Structure 1
Amino acid sequence: MIYQEFFLSIIILHSVSWNIVMVDGAKILGLFAHPSESHFEVMQSLMLELAKREHNVTVYSSHRLNERIENLREIIVEPEFPFWKQFLEVTGSQAGGLLKANELTERAMQKSLATTGASAVNYFLSNEAVKKLLNLPVNEFDYDLIIVDLFYTEALLAVGHFYNKPTIAILNTNFENYMDRVLEQMVPAACSPICYEAYKPEAGYWNRLGVIRYCLSRRKQFIKDNWGAQESVIRKHFSQFKGVSELNIGTLQAELAVLLLNSHVPLLTPRPLLLNTVAAGGMHIRPPRELPWSLRRFLDESRAGVVYMNLGNEQLCTDVPKHIMQLLLNTLGKRKERVVWTCHDHTALKNLPTNIMVQHAVAQADILAHPHVHIFLMNGELLSMQESIMRHVPMIGVPIFRNEVRNVELAVRLGIGIHLNHNNLTETALNWAMQTIKEDSTYQLKIRQVATTFRDRPLGAVETCMYWMDYVLRHQNGAVLKTLGVSIPSSQLHLFDLFIFYFAIALLSVGMLAAAFYGIIILMRKREIGKMYSKQS
């Protein structure tokens, strides 16, 4: 009898602990306004996983999830917003394309991205299906959790605010240091200085002063350009709600239940993060799937190995400058390796060398998983870099944008890639880079070490995301994770108001000392004058 009671208690405790971990099928809403296909890969991975775990998932986006699941509902916002086309128009770079846009100052680049991002969100919220969703009465908006992408799309956070629903944001890019800008709004400037990777704590006083001043200036500009544009979108599309005119992005950001970062060490430099800011890099990477027969045969039959090339998910093959296109075809066409090139307009290129295949339909992570792929020729995009690391394929980076340069320079520091400058790219340099990676085993050794570090965490990337989503559903909308200091004014966050107090005390002390010193001098002069009169008399 005692043993029966003992085993019964174990069973009960096990069932209770299981119920703590598991969450019954929740109703989850995904709002993904950014039209980038590469950005959506992250959202696609997580939404499909949530649906497979028996949550009821509804997704509003410009791209399809490409899987049919009974408890998954998709609303496609069509046609897709032309983000990069409008970005080039805003910057006046239509003629020169992305190469011309890269010549902009950082200030102009950020302002242009903020303007284009606000236009993209405005386009998304103007869609009839989305408008119908936002016009639901509060008591009929029965979603348990809202998930949004965060790339110049902060206005989406207003949905959770006005309907009083927990919101999880996914930040899956470091484009133009956007990730840094979002994170640095939450901590004092001294804890998150600009150029975090290059910052040295032992820097001199004047250097530190300059860094902090620039960091604060950047924060102020980000709030003015990006937050100001997003708040205008909120006032336009949420005018039916009370208090919309006073609402600001700072308040919405403070209400976030969890912020998921698609990065992780060693790609993300360790830094102070709030409890509800979770690094989960690689969340878009899943186990490789079987390749289509024609592509698999092309890869299998390449005994000399395969070079995989993707110069940007937003880059059309026909947009590649002619001299670079000719250089690539001449160089790659002469090599023994076969080449798989991924780009959108895969049917636009004609008369290619026989060793080059252009495709678009197959996910690059699946191609990189093939054992014959030895080199990844890429532009330096963060998601591609993560896939390259996870599949143990060293990379040759030909970056254009500054964020791409930053990523490729990181790859060089980690010993997993080679950086080629697109301005003076030559056949000799490209051949040298490919031959170096093929013959120098150090690159293979280093990328396996980096991949081990990137994977080394309690849970995998997707499992980490699932855990925190369930956590928010279990624990009162994730309120226990929120840091109150996020919403305090900048002057208080950086202790400026206290500095004024101490400065006043210091000023008063100096004033009192000066007055005392002045009084002593006057007293001494009076005595001297008195002595002079006494001698004369």
Structure 2
Amino acid sequence: MKVFPSLMIIIFSAVCGESAKILGVFPSNGYSQFILAEKLMSELAKRDHNVTVVSHFEPKTKIENYRTILTDGPTGTEKDSLLDWANLGIFRAITTFHNFCYMLTEHILSHKKVQDLLLSNETFDLVIVEQFGNEAHMGFASHFSVPLVTFSSIGLSEWNSHLVGNIKLPSIVPFSLSSHSNHMTFIQRVTNTMAHIFDAIYKELIYFPWQQSMLDKYFPEKMDLKRIMFNTSFMLLNSHSISTEPVQLTSSVAEIGGFHITPNELPKSVQEFLDGAENGVILFSLGSNLKSSDLPRGTLDMILEVFRRIPQRIIWKFEETDIHHKPDNVMISKWMQQSDILAHPNTRAFITHGGILSTTEAIHYGVPMIGIPILGDQYMNVARMVQKRLCINLPLPELTENSFHEAIREVIENPEYRNNAQKYSKIFRDRLNKPLDEAVFWIEYVLRHNGATHLRNASMDLYWFQLYTLDVWLFIFSWPTLFYLFGRA
């Protein structure tokens, strides 16, 4: 019966929707984020919309109604800088992240193909922007005078919640670059609150002026940053209460976590490797930004020694053609169909960097994890999985032969991890509609209702001190003093 609501959404869109010209701006330089962009924008193209996508990547196969403005160039993700993230403190991580986002934002806007687009007579009906520390890119919607839909690849965060009127309390909402879950100790709540305050001050004093300067420099017309920031009609979140955590959402937000997951046939060699694994298979991937081959030689040798000692087979995303002294139970590949390998019944565990796509796919298919977080939101994602008892946290600086071997044994041999993974998989899949159908519905909803301004939350029209009633509390605590002073006068 769950097919019926999804089918109705498709029929309703086909009957009531019209072909629209949609511009998508997806600045992230990680290929995993482009997987999300391609899935969303290609689905819109399949439903007769004409889409133009500004991105560092383009689809590997031609898609009808899909045009790419390829912003080739430097990505700023050298291996040394990525590995250094593992040793950054929270405050240094915040400034490093904002500097990185500034570089990505300017790279898109300064690109000749993007400037040609802004100076052309081309028109659009809607703009979709991947919101990731790139507020100036929201200027595309104002430039073309169309509604704005934002998309967050990591879910609700301090980088986007205010754009749709969501209030984030630091007592229960961890900072995205921290290693906290939503259940924090007193000390964690102190550091979490300090991180939120530091980030907010840094944005107001330094980061937002940077973004405003890019609006002034790269757009033909003058724009006010704060005005375009709060021009979001709707926000799509790549999240779910299981893959991230339960949050309060305003009417202009929808969670579509897992929308990119589509079963595909595996290559014959991988299928046979999985089918023949009597003791199961462990999948190992550090994602698309950091390469496993970039790990220090000593760390690689240690990992290989552990793999040599265990009975399971290993499929390792490794970017070089060969590994010196590779054990026979290890298969390496530069790129792999991660989701489809996780779907195989013989996959017993997943060694992951803790990226949101990886943790989402592992939850979807009920595979327990060993998390080796290195940068960004990976620490928080792994902390959430540890809280659910379907993951063991093993940060890169703590990775030793003994700790790595014991973590693998615990996840494989302790049935609690597998049972919890299966339980959360059932919850994650139990939905009224398919998340991709819901994403398309809301995009077309914004088109049909000229920006859907009726969904706008009143908190977006208040200053921060009004939103948190600081002015009210100031009045309550000060009026006795004022009464005393004026009364004596």
Counterpart pick for 1:82 among 72, 75, 78? 75
CA distance in 2, matches of 1:422, 1:214: 23
1:336 counterpart = 2:311: yes
Gaps of 5+ in 1: 1-13, 89-93, 517-537
Name the counterpart of 2:135.
154
Counterpart pick for 1:255 among 209, 231, 256? 231
Alignment of 1:126-525 (within 5 A): 126-137=110-121, 140-141=122-123, 143-173=124-154, 179-184=157-162, 186-187=165-166, 195=174, 215-238=196-219, 240-241=220-221, 243-244=222-223, 247-248=224-225, 250-286=226-262, 288-343=263-318, 345-347=319-321, 349-401=323-375, 403-511=377-485, 515=488
Given the superposition, is the C-alpha separation of residues 184 and 194 from structure 1 closer, same or farther in structure 2, using an over 3 Å criterion?
A: farther
Shift of 1:82: 1.8
Name the counterpart of 2:4.
none
**AA partner of residue 64 (structure 1):** E
CA distance in 2, matches of 1:484, 1:276: 12
**AA partner of residue 300 (structure 1):** D
Name the counterpart of 1:121.
105
Name the counterpart of 2:63.
69
Shift of 1:232: 1.7
* Deviation digits for residues 461-501 of structure 1 (CA, Å, limit 9, x no counterpart): 21221111111111112222222431432233233444444
* Deviation digits for residues 250-273 of structure 1 (CA, Å, limit 9, x no counterpart): 322211111111111023333332
Deviating more after overlay: 376-385 vs 222-231: 222-231
What SS does the corresponding residue of 2:316 show, helix, strand or coil? strand
CA distance in 2, matches of 1:252, 1:200: 34
Shift of 1:402: 6.4
**AA partner of residue 287 (structure 2):** G
For the 8 Å contact 2:46–2:64, the answer to whether it is kept is no
**AA partner of residue 258 (structure 1):** F
Quote the RMSD (CA, aligned, Å). 3.0
Higher Cα Rg: structure 1 or 2? 1
Whichever structure has more helix as a proportion of its residues is 1
Given the superposition, is the C-alpha separation of residues 124 and 265 from structure 1 closer, same or farther in structure 2, using an over 3 Å criterion?
A: same
Shift of 1:63: 1.0
Deviating more after overlay: 252-261 vs 396-405: 396-405
Given the superposition, is the C-alpha separation of residues 209 and 34 from structure 1 closer, same or farther in structure 2, using an over 3 Å criterion?
A: closer
For the 8 Å contact 1:31–1:60, the answer to whether it is kept is yes
What SS does the corresponding residue of 1:477 show, helix, strand or coil? coil
* Deviation digits for residues 417-465 of structure 1 (CA, Å, limit 9, x no counterpart): 1222433433333333222322322222211221222233322221221
CA distance in 2, matches of 1:209, 1:388: 32
Name the counterpart of 1:5.
none
What SS does the corresponding residue of 1:266 show, helix, strand or coil? coil
**AA partner of residue 271 (structure 2):** R
Matched-pair identity in %: 28
What SS does the corresponding residue of 1:260 show, helix, strand or coil? strand
Deviating more after overlay: 256-265 vs 477-486: 477-486
For the 8 Å contact 1:115–1:229, the answer to whether it is kept is no
Shift of 1:368: 1.2
Q: How many residues align?
A: 475
CA distance in 2, matches of 1:37, 1:70: 21
Given the superposition, is the C-alpha separation of residues 214 and 421 from structure 1 closer, same or farther in structure 2, using an over 3 Å criterion?
A: closer
* Deviation digits for residues 12-31 of structure 1 (CA, Å, limit 9, x no counterpart): xx9xx947964122221111
**AA partner of residue 252 (structure 1):** I
For the 8 Å contact 2:390–2:417, the answer to whether it is kept is yes
Deviating more after overlay: 272-281 vs 17-26: 17-26
For the 8 Å contact 1:184–1:192, the answer to whether it is kept is no
Given the superposition, is the C-alpha separation of residues 281 and 189 from structure 1 closer, same or farther in structure 2, using an over 3 Å criterion?
A: closer
**TM-score, length-scaled by structure 2:** 0.88
Shift of 1:194: 5.3
For the 8 Å contact 1:491–1:497, the answer to whether it is kept is yes
CA distance in 2, matches of 1:339, 1:190: 42
**AA partner of residue 76 (structure 2):** F
* Deviation digits for residues 194-253 of structure 1 (CA, Å, limit 9, x no counterpart): 5377678998xx999998676445323233343222222111101x21x33xx11x3222
Deviating more after overlay: 55-64 vs 486-495: 486-495
Name the counterpart of 1:7.
none
What SS does the corresponding residue of 2:77 show, helix, strand or coil? helix
CA distance in 2, matches of 1:477, 1:403: 31
Name the counterpart of 1:100.
84
CA distance in 2, matches of 1:201, 1:368: 31
* Deviation digits for residues 63-114 of structure 1 (CA, Å, limit 9, x no counterpart): 12223222222222223x32323xx8xxxxx4xx434333333222222221
For the 8 Å contact 2:132–2:159, the answer to whether it is kept is no
**AA partner of residue 62 (structure 1):** H
* Deviation digits for residues 99-156 of structure 1 (CA, Å, limit 9, x no counterpart): 433333322222222122111121112222211111124xx41x11111111122211
CA distance in 1, matches of 2:171, 2:344: 40
**AA partner of residue 78 (structure 1):** D
Given the superposition, is the C-alpha separation of residues 29 and 453 from structure 1 closer, same or farther in structure 2, using an over 3 Å criterion?
A: same
What SS does the corresponding residue of 2:87 show, helix, strand or coil? coil
What SS does the corresponding residue of 1:220 show, helix, strand or coil? helix
Given the superposition, is the C-alpha separation of residues 201 and 115 from structure 1 closer, same or farther in structure 2, using an over 3 Å criterion?
A: closer
Structure with larger RCO (C-alpha < 8 A, sep 6+):
2
What SS does the corresponding residue of 1:270 show, helix, strand or coil? coil
What SS does the corresponding residue of 1:28 show, helix, strand or coil? strand
